[in-house]
Amino acid sequence: MTYKVHVTGRDGRWWAVTVPELGEDALTQARRLAEVEEEARDYIAVTMDVAPSTVEVEVVIDDLGSARNVQERSTWIKAARQLIEQLEQDVQRETKILADELTSEKIPMREIAELVGTTFQRVGQIANTESSPRRSAWSLAAADPTTFDHARRAFAEVSRLASGT
């Protein structure tokens, strides 16, 4: 059985954790959020007299004071960060590939920098280094035409949520 455990707030330096399936008095605590799952699992195992390895736990972060939808918002933030990191890698790869191509055409580094939105010093650092794959994001987009559209929609959603509209 999977037990939903709820992080309900802070009590001093401790997180308050409830296990509703075990009754309204089923309370434990954890010093750090990273410890909630293990502490709850141990509490449930002792209460139910079973091995901790047999207990599955799903941690739910409740509203914390005036902070609403904490779990959903933190999940969204983590997913957005992963997307941003992936997009940054794609941008860096595509910048290098285009800079290499333009350098081979004898385009001045200052002009390349203007085209890719960086400094000419950065173009000098990335152009013609050996570490770049030659498959461009544009060729990846051709293989999967939704790549850039997905990125645009994700950034539009990030902007919308950040502005509160």
pLDDT tens digits, the chain, 165 residues: what are they? 899 999 999 999 999 999 999 999 999 999 999 999 999 999 999 999 999 999 999 999 999 999 999 999 999 999 999 999 999 999 999 999 999 999 999 999 999 999 999 999 999 999 867 654 555 555 555 545 566 666 667 767 766 766 666
Please tell me the distance from the alpha carbon of residue 125 to that of residue 122, in angstroms, as a whole number.
5
Global confidence as pTM: 0.68
Give pLDDT, residue 161: 66
Structural domains of the chain in order of their starting residue, each with its CATH number: 2-68 (3.30.160.250), 71-163 (no CATH)
